[in-house]
Homo-oligomer: A and B are copies of this chain.
Amino acid sequence: MQKLKCTVSYDGTHFSGSQIQPNKRTVQAEMEKAMTKMHKGKQVQIYFSGRTDAGVHAKAQVFHFETEMNIPPESWKKALNAVLPKDIHVKGIEPAPANFHAQFDAIEKEYRYFVFNCKERNVFKRNYAYYYPFDVDIKKIQVACSLFEGTHDFTSFCSARTAVKGGKVRTLYEVSCKKHEDEIVFILRGNGFLYNMVRIIVGVLLDVGSGKIDLPEIEEMFRKKDRTFAGKTLPPEGLFLWKVKYENEAGKQRGNA
């Protein structure tokens, strides 16, 4: 039995999220279907670094699986891409230690949220950015970003339905915002993210940028520990799981060589 770590990108538009669900098109179902084909009908389960919701994209999602097949990594990649639908693409596959777990061993995740900030709609961006036609003060947003960095209890900034063991304290290493032409991009890096956390935080940041709320209100939101104080959850189309980092990342190149 060999364990493999696989990096995939997917366009979330036509998926009901990553996680398998009965009668829905999901990334996991498509991926396991491809695996089953390669294993001549034998079912193979995959384990993602974490879930992504319906409509959410992944530039580099990671999963692991176990196999008895002895195929070089480059051939795995080719074979899987040949049977996968066009909205999923295997970027890389490599051997992993027997005790590797894509979810539990992840030490950092990066999400990016894209906002299309233009009066006129753009049909080509509709599935890949949140359309937000209002004027925003980027400098003010950047100041607000810094309030989210560091270690905080994010109870107010995750779905009230979040079921999580061990509390809602997380550490964000980076919360930043840049605007280039019509596009605003938010970058969030942290040791873990709660359900809907990025979409709620970016919603609050846009509320700051449009002048709807002011900086002291963010501190108040943190204090309240109540989801209802933090505005709406932004839609999924702007959200990308950008990168998942593991402790042995430096060893990755060695593993591949």
Contact = CB atoms under 8 A, between A and B. Distances in A.
Interface of A: 9-11, 57, 81, 86-89, 91, 120-124, 126, 128
B81 A123 contact: no
Nearest to A240: B124
A126 B86 contact: yes
Nearest to A128: B124
Q: Which 8 A-B pairs have the closest CB atoms?
A: A11-B123, A89-B123, A89-B121, A9-B123, A86-B126, A87-B123, A11-B124, A10-B123
A14 to B, nearest CB: 10
Contact of A126 (B87, B91, B123): B87
B124 A57 contact: yes
Contacts of A128: 124
A120 to B, nearest CB: 7
Interface centre among A86, A120, A124, A126 (most CB of B within 10 A): A124
Interface centre among A57, A121, A123 (most CB of B within 10 A): A123
Contacts of A10: 123
A218 B57 CA distance: 43
Contacts of A120: 89, 91
A42 B86 CA distance: 41
20 contacts: A9-B122, A9-B123, A9-B124, A10-B123, A11-B123, A11-B124, A11-B126, A57-B124, A81-B121, A86-B123, A86-B126, A87-B123, A87-B126, A88-B123, A89-B120, A89-B121, A89-B122, A89-B123, A91-B120, A124-B128
A86 B123 CA distance: 7
A77 to B, nearest CB: 10
A174 to B, nearest CB: 23
A187 to B, nearest CB: 17
Contacts of A126: 11, 86-87
Contacts of A123: 9-11, 86-89
A124 B126 CA distance: 12
Nearest to A125: B11
A122 B91 CA distance: 9
Contacts of A121: 81, 89
Contacts of A124: 9, 11, 57, 128
A112 to B, nearest CB: 12
Given A11-B124, A91-B120, A124-B128, 17 more contacts: A9-B122, A9-B123, A9-B124, A10-B123, A11-B123, A11-B126, A57-B124, A81-B121, A86-B123, A86-B126, A87-B123, A87-B126, A88-B123, A89-B120, A89-B121, A89-B122, A89-B123
